[in-house]
């Protein structure tokens, strides 16, 4: 599936420089950046979910520690 991605001149030039530095196409660099962003966000969501569960399960202990 395709899409059109509009970037600023500054973004395009930065992408061009990065692609040249890596010896890869601008598209390959952009796709890797998208994959990295999505992976990082998914990881953050998992961490937040686990943290929320631990906080809920250990609320009593956390309250006692806060009062100490």
Predicted confidence (pLDDT) per residue in 21-65, tens digit: 999 999 999 999 999 999 999 999 999 999 999 999 999 999 999
Quick check: is 4 in a domain? no
> Half-sphere exposure of 47 toward its Cβ, with a 13 Å CA cutoff?
6
Quick check: is 2 in a domain? no
Cα(16)–Cα(35) distance, rounded to whole angstroms? Answer: 18
* pTM higher than 0.75: no
- Domain enclosing residue 18, as ranges: 9-67
Quick check: is 59 in a domain? yes
- Total count of domains within the chain: 1
Quick check: is 1 in a domain? no
Give the pLDDT mean for 7-26. Answer: 98
């Amino acid at each position: 599936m395709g899409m059109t991605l509009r970037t600023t001149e500054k973004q395009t030039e930065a992408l061009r420089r990065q692609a040249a530095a890596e010896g890869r196409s601008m598209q390959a660099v952009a796709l890797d950046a998208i994959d990295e962003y999505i992976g990082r966000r998914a990881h953050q969501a998992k961490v937040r979910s686990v943290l929320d569960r631990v906080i809920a399960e250990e609320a009593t202990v956390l309250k006692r520690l806060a009062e100490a």
